[in-house]
Structure 1
Amino acid sequence: MHFLEDTMRLLRPRKWLLSACFATVSLSVLSSNLYADGIGNLPNLGDAGSSELSVQDEKKLGDLIMRDYRTFGQINDDSEITGFLNRFGAKIVTAAGASPSDFEFFLVTDKTINAFALPGGHIGVNSGLIASAHTESELASVLAHEVGHVTQRHIARMYSQQKQTSLVSAAAIIAGILLASSNPDAAQGVIAAGAGYSVNQQLSFSRDSEREADRVGFATLEAAGFNPQGMVDFFGRLQKSARLYENNAPAYLQTHPLTAERIADIRNRAGLVPEKKDYNDDPLEFELVRVKAIVVADKSPQDLNDQLRIFQEPMIQENIKNPVVLAYGRSLVLSKLGKTQQALTEVTKAIDLYDQGRSVVKVQVMPAMLQAERLRLRLKLYDTGRPDLVPNRADSTLNPQEKKLLADLEDFRETYKGNMSVKLLYARGLQSLGLHEKAEQFLRDLTAAYRSNGDLFELAAKSAQALGKQADQHYFLAQSYAARGAYLPAIEQTQIAKRFATNDYYLLAEIDAKQREYKQKADEQREMMKSMKQ
């Protein structure tokens, strides 16, 4: 069992969260007794004479953390919110002068207002942060700040600054990078453990990093076409919350401490920017994403029913007033409560309201999320009482209701060609109808183009199973694991696939090549973990 799994086993009873909010290493580190118990397992990325982390090592470290983040269920795989975050984030990353392919934005189901950057360009966004942002520019301001941490390589710089500390202190630093608790007071554990670590020195570096991320993030925000006032508004509102709730400040402030100096500097920068009217905001899609972020975090029936009542009226304080968005929110809540027919009625109402308000002069494409929710609910009603894996069937066997569903799925896919969440819903719709041959071919073409999307391979494995293609099923599963950085189970699935591919020499050769690739990747992960423990 590798380091992060060992650590998570120790931490699970205390509900610690795997994270890497490196903007301040003084953020939630380790409680004193846990620190004492686990100090032997803490990684050491080098001695006092080593150089800063290389870009390659930073990437490998980030990939390892993401693998464990997925393993322990910290990532919400909602394809619509995740797709929005990555399309949205790509605008910011491009404006920062970096490549979007080097970044990944992911959703964490947590009502606290927070975002964090992991090594290697992985940026986590709490659902609570999306819910609390009143405009796209406000959300963009936080993401631009986090992108600034990555582009300025603050992890590597921090490690370089701490080269002269003792090994125990270095272990504490890396623990702070890798592990963050939902309890902000846990940072005191490092002091209680007697690590001999200079908290003042660490906070000083943190403030420097925050100021630099502000400066870089502000310039990026402006270059990406968003309203710089969004940073002023959002950070100002967070600062006000901190004053009102001194003992329960937003998590973002606990990991990204705001000072009067920082707020003043942001205001001054915004005051120097000429005001424009054509900022890069798309209010409706953002508001739909925002409402969905609110709903995904609600778990209990009581929470959901409370939220349903809230969505009955405009939410003035939260700046959610659009009746289309409120109806969509009610649909999401009703769906989670299992009231599918009522949910379908509400999302149909949202679509009708949108159509009524659509400009007759400028043709607008309806946000995909509205159409997707209606299709999802229709499929859910159709699927009631059906087995999870519908046997394969031909198009000619479809009844009129099923043919209508298929036609609507085809139209949906054609209307929103570039949207990955649409592609995933289309494939799932085909599978629900039992059209596995069509689904498999569609997914096979997609997986050739999007090899890093584990969901596509997982769906392809499901259709291969329905078609009785056992070698393909396990080969697709192997690629699904590999896309998520889990190379050992990927190797295991290639072994199984090879047992079923004995007469298909072409497929067998392809599986062999992938297996060698996965073994090499697994060896690289193992060597990195080994070097971290030395």
Structure 2
Amino acid sequence: MFKSFGTKSLRKVPPIGAQKEATVAGKALPRLACTLLTLLLALQPVLLSVSSASAQGTSIKLIRDAETEELIRDYTRPIFKAAGLKPGNIRIHLVKDNSFNAFVVDSKRMFINTGTIIEADTPNEIIGVLAHETGHIVGGHMIRLREAMKRAQTIAAIGMLAGAGAMAAGAAAGSSDAARAGTAIMTSAPGIAQRTFLSYARTEETAADRAAVRYLEQTGQSAKGMLRTFERFADQSLFSSQYVDPYIQSHPLPRERIAQIERLAKKSKYFDRKDSAQLQQRHDMVRAKLAAFTQDPKRVMRSYKGNDMPSLYAQAIVTFRLGNRNKAIKQMDQLLKLQPDNPYFLELKGQIYLETGMADNAIAPLNRAVSLRPDEGILRVMLGQAILSSKSNKNYSAAVTHLQRGLQDDPDLAVGYRFLAQAYEYLGQRAQAEMATANGYFASGDIASAKAMAARAQKKLKRGSPEWLQADDILSYKIPKI
């Protein structure tokens, strides 16, 4: 089920407020000094905007797709093992964005853009990107990055205060030269702080590159994909070094990274090792799927106009998106003749029926998909939705069973709780419905609504029951401080 499940907005840098004229020893400081002193208060969020410039002030739209997520898990499993990480402790999120990017925000969450997967020709290119981000997690770079920001803030504060002092002393002594010197100190302080911070970020990027090559070596994989990725960046005019100051880049310039990775990668006996044909096929299928769901249909049809399996997959999805259900079903049946036990072909056939008002027809293919991937929460939630939407199959208890099992395997799937609440309502179990709604709010990050609904549900639930304890956990939850 390829779905978008909401948007998360990043905090924007607050605007600098109205300026007031400051005085030292009864004398007014120039407006420039007042502006810089006010900038001191805003320095930390400004530095944050440097570290996430591409996403600043924008929204991140997360999507869910079982097939893509399974492939990414298979990519990362050996890398995480080599890095000493437990795969179950790290969640990889898909971001609906056509640009080539991946990032981590802490030790438990990694994000990868759909555009990264679409643009990568081989699994090895994606694996190299994921290995690099794993290097950031293992190195604790996000934690230390916050400390670097604080240090940069201190450097700027000291510089600005020293400059203000020099300006004040010069003004008091009637020395214009001293006042100008103070101004120079103050105006240079933010730049010094920024360069200190970015220098640290460049160091961590280099460390992550080295760690990635090491993980690839330990797992018997080539670093050629990483090399190809950086070569792609170097070909883009955005990274042209002719007009770029390398000291204000948060990442090392591509030519430097390419040289480093090439030296390390070519030392490996696995440098020329290619991905297996099976893995390449899965990668090509996911690329086609993501492109068909996220890009302009005309563009997709130009790219996937052949009779190979990825092209047939993309064509079926585009046909579905354009509203031709019958043709899309025929195209999926053609694919199912080639791979009758492909759970994701069955899933897509069920999705086409479900989203075009034929839920009864969706149940059989979704049942089959679940039997092939019984631990895939998304598939079970989709089957539960189909049962709830069915006109003839009113087995709400079965819907509850599938939804509960699906949410047990995938507790972050907030939309599943909405369907579970609906199933409980049909069964006349109001308290359980309210508790499912509370869990849905909690999973989507709406803690206030989750607490309000949990309080309502707990009044109707038996004290000490599993549902009562769930409500109590939500009511006692406190948002952790970052």
Q: Which amino acid aligns with 1:346?
A: Q
TM-score of the pair, normalised by structure 1: 0.66
CA–CA distance in 2 between the matches of 1:247 and 1:335? 47
Shift of 1:127: 1.2
What amino acid does structure 2 have at the position aligned with 1:370? F
Greater shift, 81-90 or 35-44, is seen at 35-44
C-alpha separation in 1, matches of 2:452 and 2:308: 51
Q: Does the 8 Å CA contact 1:494/1:511 hold for their aligned counterparts? A: no
1:373 to 330, 337, 348: 348
Question: Which of the residues 275, 290, 308 maps onto 1:323?
Answer: 308
Paired amino acid for 1:220: Y
Aligned with residue 384 of structure 2, among 427, 451, 476? 427
Q: Which amino acid aligns with 1:519?
A: L
- Work out the CA distance in 2 between the residues paired with 1:366 and 1:77: 22
The equivalent of 1:304 in structure 2 is: 297
Structure 2 residue identity aligned to 1:273: S
Contact 1:225/1:279 (<8 A) preserved: no
**1:417 matches 2:374:** yes
Larger Rg: 2
Question: Deviation of residue 142 (structure 1)?
Answer: 0.4
Report if the CA contact (8 A) 2:152-2:197 is conserved. no
Q: 1:284-363 maps to which residues of 2 (within 5 A)?
A: 284-298=281-295, 303-313=296-306, 323-352=308-337, 354-355=338-339
Counterpart of 1:20?
Answer: none
Counterpart in 1 of 2:142? 155
Matched, 1:520 2:476: yes
The corresponding residue for 2:181 is none
Unaligned segments of structure 1, at least 5 residues: 12-31, 46-64, 171-190, 314-321, 356-364, 385-401, 530-534
After the TM superposition, which of the residue ranges 100-109 and 234-243 deviates more from structure 2?
Answer: 234-243
Asked if structure 1 preserves the Cα contact closer than 8 Å seen for 2:103 and 2:111, the reply is yes
Separation in structure 2 between the aligned mates of residue 95 and residue 489 of structure 1, nearest angstrom: 41
C-alpha distance in 2 between matches for 1:244 and 1:350: 42
The answer to whether the 8 Å contact 1:454/1:481 transfers is yes
Aligned ranges 1:129-140 → 2 under 5 Å: 129-140=116-127
* CA drift at 1:473: 1.3
What's the CA shift string for 1:323-369, capped at 9, x where partnerless? 110111111112222222222222333334x35xxxxxxxxx85432
Question: Per the alignment, do residues 495 and 120 of structure 1 end up closer, same or farther by CA in structure 2, a change over 3 Å counting?
Answer: same
- Please tell me whether the aligned partners of residues 109 and 296 of structure 1 are also in contact (alpha carbons under 8 angstroms): no
Over 3 Å counting, the alpha-carbon distance change for 1:126 and 1:472 in structure 2 is: same
- How far has the Cα of 1:140 moved from its partner? 0.7
AA matched with 2:317: L
Contact 2:60 2:96 in 1 (8 A): no
Aligned to 1:399: none
The amino acid across from 1:89 in the alignment is T
Number of residue pairs aligned between Structure 1 and Structure 2: 412
SS in 1 for 2:61: coil
Is 1:479 aligned to residue 439 of structure 2? yes
Q: More deviation in 434-443 or 274-283?
A: 274-283
Structure 1 residues 75-224: aligned runs within 5 Å: 75-161=62-148, 163-166=150-153, 195=190, 197-224=192-219
Distance 2:188 2:107 in 1: 30
TM-score normalized by structure 2?
A: 0.73
- CA separation of 1:5/1:418 partners in 2, compared to 1, >3 Å: closer, same or farther? closer
Q: Structure 2, unaligned stretches of length 5 or more?
A: 1-7, 16-34, 158-185
C-alpha distance in structure 2 between counterparts of 1:9 and 1:258, whole Å: 26
The answer on 1:495 being equivalent to 2:455 is yes
**CA deviation map 1:20-74 (0-9, x unaligned):** xxxxxxxxxxxx99x96993995999xxxxxxxxxxxxxxxxxxx9xxx9x9662
Q: CA deviation at 1:143?
A: 0.9
SS in 2 for 1:505: coil
Counterpart secondary structure, 1:282: helix
Shift of 1:282: 0.9
2:266 counterpart residue number: 271
Matching of residues 447-458 of structure 1 within 5 Å = 447-448=407-408, 450-458=410-418
Offset at residue 169 of structure 1 (A): 5.2
Name the stretch that deviates more: 333-342 or 512-521. 512-521
Equivalence for 2:396: 436
- Tell me if the contact between 1:327 and 1:346 (Cα under 8 Å) persists in the aligned partners: yes
Q: Secondary structure at the match of 1:424?
A: helix
What is the Cα deviation at residue 163 of structure 1? 4.7
Instruction: Considering Cα pairs closer than 8 Å and 6+ residues apart, tell me whether 1 or 2 has the greater RCO.
Output: 1
**SS of residue in 2 equivalent to 1:120:** coil
Alpha-carbon distance change, 87 to 475 in structure 1, aligned in 2, over 3 angstroms: farther
CA deviations over 1:147-173 (Å, ceiling 9, x no partner): 111110112223344554445959xxx
**Distance in 2 separating the partners of 1:7 and 1:109:** 19
1:231 & 1:484 partners in 2: Cα distance? 34
SS, match of residue 75 in structure 1: strand
Deviation at 1:89, TM superposition (A): 2.8
Displacement of 1:115 in angstroms is: 0.9
The 1:288/1:223 distance shift into structure 2, 3 A limit, reads same
Distance (Å, rounded) in 2 between the aligned partners of 1:418 and 1:309: 36
Distance 2:370 2:187 in 1: 57
Aligned-pair CA distance for 1:436: 2.1
On the 8 A contact 1:80/1:421 being kept in 2, the answer is no
- Equivalent residues in 2 for 1:386-397, closer than 5 Å: none
Of 415, 419, 423 in structure 2, the residue corresponding to residue 463 of structure 1 is 423
The amino acid across from 2:290 in the alignment is A
Coordinate RMSD, CA, aligned = 4.0
CA distances 1:231-287 after superposition (whole Å, capped 9, x unpaired)? 2222222322347988999xxxx8644432321221222222224767466122221
